[in-house]
Structure 1
Amino acid sequence: MKILKRDSNEPEALELMNELSQILEKITGSSGRGSFNIEDVRSPRSLFAVAYLQEEAVGCGAIRPIDETTAEVKRMYARLSGKGIGSALLNYLETEARKMGYTKLILETRVINRKAVLFYESKSYKRIQNYGKYANRPESVCFEKKLVD
C-alpha cells in the first residue's frame, strides 16, 4: 500500500469522497458534505491523501487547520474493510500533522456510526466535549488525540 498527497479536486479523490458521502447518508441520514469544503484542504498546513493498493485508489483522508496547534481529521474513508487502509491513512495523517507542527488532532463522527466510533477509540482517540458546529448536537461524538508524548 502507498499513500500519497493529492489534490482534493482530482477525479479519484472526488470519486472516493462521493462514495463516502453515499455511505454516510445511508448510515447517518447525512452525507457529511456540509461539514467539508474541498478548499479547506488546499490551504496551507492542510492536506488530502489517497491510499493505493496495486495502483487502485482505495481510501482517502484529510486534515485541515483549526488553529496553530490543532488540525481536524476529515473525509476518512476506506473502500475495502479489513485491509488496514483506514489505519494506514490515519497513521499517515498523524505523521504529516506532526511534521506541520500540530500537537493535536480532533474529529467528529456520528454516534450511530459505531464502526467509526470503535475505530477511533482503538487508535487512542479520546472522547471530548463536542466542539464548534457540533456543540449541543447529541447525534455527534467528537474525539481528540494528542500528538506529543
Structure 2
Amino acid sequence: MSARPRIRVTVEDPETTDAALLLDELSDQLSLITGSSGKASFDVNDVRGDRALFVVARDGDGKPVGCGALRPLEHDVAELKRMYSRRTVPGIGTAVLAHLEAQAQQLGYAALRLETRAVNTRAVTFYERLGYARIANFGKYVGRPEAVCFEKRLAPG
C-alpha cells in the first residue's frame, strides 16, 4: 500500500501561470454546474492587499492541483474566494481550506464567510462537513435565492 501523496499549500500571486490555469479550470467547472463562471465576483487585486492572499496546492510531484483565496470583508471577517480542487487525489480541498483558515487566524480574523450556489451540492456538502454554518445571504448575495452563504467562527489565535 502506497502512502497518500502529500499536498503542499503555498501563497502565490493569482496571476502566475499555474494559478491562472487553476482559476480557468474553476471557471469552466462553475459554468457547467451553475451556468456562471463566477469571474465577475473575483478581482485578483482583492487578494493581493493587506490581510488577503491567494494559495495554490501542489501534489507530491509539484503539480498544481487546487487553489483558494481570502479577502477582507469586515475588520474581523474575511471572505473565501475561488476554492477549487482538481480532485486528482483525496484531501486537496480540505488542505487548501485548512491552510486558509490558519492564515486567516494569523491575520486576526474571527470568522470566514463564503458564498456558493445552491445547485453546487458538492461544495455545499463540503463546507457543511467542515464546520461552516448557513447564514443569511450577505453583500451582493442578498435577495439571490440561487446563492447559499456560510460562515465559520475561528478559534482565537
Query: Same fold judged by TM-score > 0.5?
Result: yes
Q: CA deviation at 1:82?
A: 5.2
After superposition, what is the alpha-carbon deviation per residue over 1:60-80, rounded to whole angstroms, capped at 9, x for unaligned? 000000111000000000012
Query: Deviation of residue 148 (structure 1)?
Result: 2.1
Whole-angstrom distance in 1 between the partners of 2:105 and 2:88 = 27
Task: Give the match's secondary structure for 1:21.
Answer: helix
- Tell me, yes or no, if structure 1 residue 23 matches structure 2 residue 25: no
Which secondary structure does the structure 2 equivalent of 1:31 belong to? Answer: coil
Measure, in 1, the Cα distance between the counterparts of 2:131 and 2:41.
24
Tell me by how many angstroms 1:36 deviates. 0.5
When the two chains are superposed, the root-mean-square deviation of aligned CA atoms in Å is 0.9
* Counterpart among 42, 57, 80 of residue 36 in structure 1: 42
TM-score normalised to the size of structure 1?
Answer: 0.98
State how many pairs are aligned.
149
One-letter amino acid of the structure 2 residue matched with residue 136 of structure 1: G
Equivalent-residue separation in structure 2 for 1:91 and 1:148 (angstroms): 13
Further displaced range: 13-22 or 78-87: 78-87
SS in 2 for 1:8: coil
Q: Indicate whether 1:124 and 2:131 are aligned.
A: yes
Instruction: Report the TM-score when normalising by structure 2.
Output: 0.93
Are residue 144 (structure 1) and residue 151 (structure 2) matched? yes
SS in 2 for 1:60: strand
Residue 46 of structure 1 is matched in structure 2 by: 52
Moved over 4 A (4+): none
The DSSP-based 3-state class of the residue aligned with 2:31 is helix
> Where does residue 3 of structure 2 map in the other structure?
none
CA distance, structure 2, for counterparts of residue 148 and residue 80 of structure 1 = 28
In the other structure, the counterpart of 1:86 is 93
Contact map agreement 2:65 2:88 (CA 8 A) in 1: no
Which stretches in structure 2 are left out of the alignment for 5+ residues?
1-6
Partner residue of 1:106 out of 82, 106, 113? 113
1:109 and 1:17 mapped to 2: Cα distance? 16
